[in-house]
A and B are shown apart, each in its own frame.
Chain A
């Protein structure tokens, strides 16, 4: 679409100073033509309805927005604190593209915001979209995955990752509406709605009232695909399916921890394929292992809605090419990571010994979704790159990255036979991690820090992949990659992979401060690393750095330069022509 670059540039230029009154959608919001959204005005004072004047492009708002907002005389915050009056109009749609200037006046309060409503191409560019998200995927993760998986000789990689050969790329800014730093909820929400939002929020603008399920909503991509097409929808994650990233494909909540409610929202949208962990929120509270506070049996509700159920690797394989909808739940919580699941048998693998991996889940999802002659949208999350980066467990995080890349390989194979498929590979945010060299056990002495090689002393690591499965045959080789975090709590650096189970860098003391976990103190050569985060931080944190987005296939030409995360939605919507001109 010719107008895209100019429009993206416009979204990154700040217009106007902040004012106290708040209007949702926020100033500079970009809105898909015909996509339903909630309009809310939050005033700082209590006013009478007749004192409020709202215009859109100079006309009475009711004419332009097609409805009258409900007036709330007084909104209350925590402890019944008076917050002021509000107006709320749910589910309105704007069909005609253009700039919409919303002006609010109430007593001495005024506020003006401008929304950009955009249409899309009239015809879809691709039949299918496969959106692969490595949670927390940073540049160091992929560099390490390439070296660990493929090896390196005389400074050149011995092989390439699947993600290395995607055609087009962009840098993506991830910040939230309330903070420069960010989490997996607001970031995936921006990809999946086209609107930026606040930390912990999904599919909503974060309003000021305490309730988390009543905030002003915006349409999710899955909802837009349902509204405009007959395509199938698939969600695959190694985390709980109610976790922020998979939840953001369909859900609306100010609080990503509303996981029991998210299960209901998943059932509401009914993705044709839903695979991952998190069965605890599908079980009524009287079942041991449940995390619900009610007795709703969502396993039964999904089955009643026509879903086949798979609970382990064998049942998943048996359902690979069957018809109908598929719910695959393989763990009560987050699925075990590849290193534990396939190699070390640590974590909770003894309790859930037959979990499929991301590659098998992705294959089954594509096999089933591709039966739909109208096409599909599939979201695949490599969830635990992030979950292992928080505790600074770099070996597990990198092995997760290799698995994620193999899932990208499955998508690329499908794309070869089905070139009418757009593949997008990105992260939702980054972590503060870099590779700085190697750790070489053969270097003299007992102090592990003396075995760290930087610059020419680093040499090359000696991982081997003799069985050709893409994973190093062992990770505790004698000369290993050395990844280091630029942030974290107090902890002990052991310079070694954590073979007994995921790293727990810090634990809380009686003052609620996180202190170094002494479990690692006596590992030979371990050194104390003083944290640089507040003592309330139990792990490393997300970085504010841009993420890299790469893509291939029809529609991918729109990814280049710098994009706000919410702009990525527009490319997806344009690829499926979800904002084609409406007649109403």
Chain B
């Protein structure tokens, strides 16, 4: 991703940059701590997974994370699921696909257009963990990035 291109800056960042910050500030912000799918869990097990110390440490902070957009529930949704690998495999057929185990739910700051699931994207926003039920869809998530935006990488 070209972090110096203003075309790729979101409105939030543009406003931030215009109001208070010199251009270099957005570069600083672009260097939010990154989190990878490998770093989400400290322990795997049949009786549950345990979030890693890194996830706990970065909670409520701005982070960036790379992954793929799972086929969204709606064409234009304000949230989507970020997955480690492109989500396309329906293991059941003739039935709604199950969600993968290893996911992060992304709540967008504002609606963005859908990208191809095979396209690697980078998501930035505030990390949050713990069970939360979306009041509109009933979708339960344990790990979220809120106030998020994303870019093609």
Contacts and interface: CB of A to CB of B under 8 A. Distances in A.
Interface in B113-153: 113-118, 130-131, 133, 138, 140, 142-143
Interface string A498-541: 00001010111110101001110000000000000000001101
A333 B44 CA distance: 12
A257 B46 contact: no
Contacts of B2: none
Contacts of A184: 92
B152 to A, nearest CB: 12
A200 B131 contact: no
Contact of A288 (B41, B46, B114): B41
Contacts of B118: 507, 509, 517-519
Contacts of A330: 46
- Where chain B touches its partner, the secondary structure class is loop
B89 interface: yes
A283 B89 contact: no
Given A288-B50, A311-B45, A507-B86, A199 B94 contact: yes
Given A508-B116, A508-B117, A538-B89, A183 B48 contact: no
Contacts of B7: none
Interface in A292-341: 292-293, 299, 311-312, 329-334
Contacts of B47: 279, 283, 287, 299, 311
B49 interface: yes
A105 to B, nearest CB: 36
B71 A283 contact: no
A292 B140 contact: yes
A257 B95 contact: yes
In this complex, the interface size class of chain A, counting residues with CB under 8 Å from chain B, is 35 or more
Interface in B82-101: 85-86, 88-96, 98-99, 101
A386 B88 CA distance: 16
Contacts of B51: 288
B50 to A, nearest CB: 6
Given A330-B46, A510-B114, A510-B116, A285 B140 contact: yes
Given A200-B95, A288-B50, A507-B117, A352 B71 contact: no
Contact of B90 (A332, A390, A509): A390
Contacts of B85: 504
Interface of A: 181, 183-185, 199-200, 243-244, 256-257, 279-280, 283, 285-293, 299, 311-312, 329-334, 348, 351-352, 387, 390-391, 502, 504, 506-510, 512, 514, 517-519, 538-539, 541-542
A504 B86 contact: yes
Given A183-B93, A299-B47, A352-B44, A280 B71 contact: no
Which of A507, A517, A518, A539 has the most chain B CB atoms closer than 10 A to its own CB? A507
Nearest to A503: B89
Contact of B46 (A199, A312, A504, A507): A312
B104 to A, nearest CB: 12
Contacts of A244: 92, 95
Contacts of A299: 47
Contacts of B142: 285-286, 288-290
Given A257-B95, A541-B94, 6 more contacts: A256-B95, A280-B101, A283-B48, A285-B140, A510-B114, A514-B88
Contacts of A509: 116-118
Contact of B130 (A185, A286, A348): A286
A542 B95 CA distance: 12
B91 A334 contact: yes
Contacts of B46: 279, 311-312, 329-332, 352
A506 B95 contact: no
A286 B45 CA distance: 15
Contacts of B94: 181, 183, 199-200, 541-542
7 contacts: A257-B95, A279-B47, A283-B47, A285-B140, A288-B41, A290-B48, A507-B118
Contacts of B131: 285-286, 290
B115 A257 contact: no
A344 B85 CA distance: 19
A433 to B, nearest CB: 14
A181 B130 CA distance: 42
Given A293-B133, A517-B88, A512 B71 contact: yes
A448 B89 CA distance: 25
Contact of A289 (B89, B92, B101, B133): B101
A185 B95 contact: yes
Contacts of B89: 390-391, 502, 504, 538-539
A350 to B, nearest CB: 9
A510 B88 contact: no
Contacts of B49: 287-289, 332
B88 A504 contact: yes
Contacts of B130: 286
Given A289-B101, A290-B48, A507 B133 contact: no
A474 to B, nearest CB: 25
B40 to A, nearest CB: 9
Given A184-B92, A257-B96, A293 B116 contact: no
Contacts of A280: 101
A539 B90 contact: yes
A286 B131 CA distance: 5
A311 B48 CA distance: 11
A380 to B, nearest CB: 19
Contacts of A352: 44, 46
A138 to B, nearest CB: 14
B95 A510 contact: no
A506 B133 contact: no
Contacts of A185: 95
Contacts of A512: 71
Nearest to B91: A387
Contacts of A331: 46
Contacts of A510: 113-116
Nearest to A287: B48
A336 B19 CA distance: 53
A181 B94 CA distance: 10
B140 to A, nearest CB: 5
Contacts of B91: 334, 387, 390
Interface in B55-110: 71, 85-86, 88-96, 98-99, 101
Given A283-B47, A293-B133, A510-B115, A541 B93 contact: yes
A70 B92 CA distance: 36
A331 B91 CA distance: 16
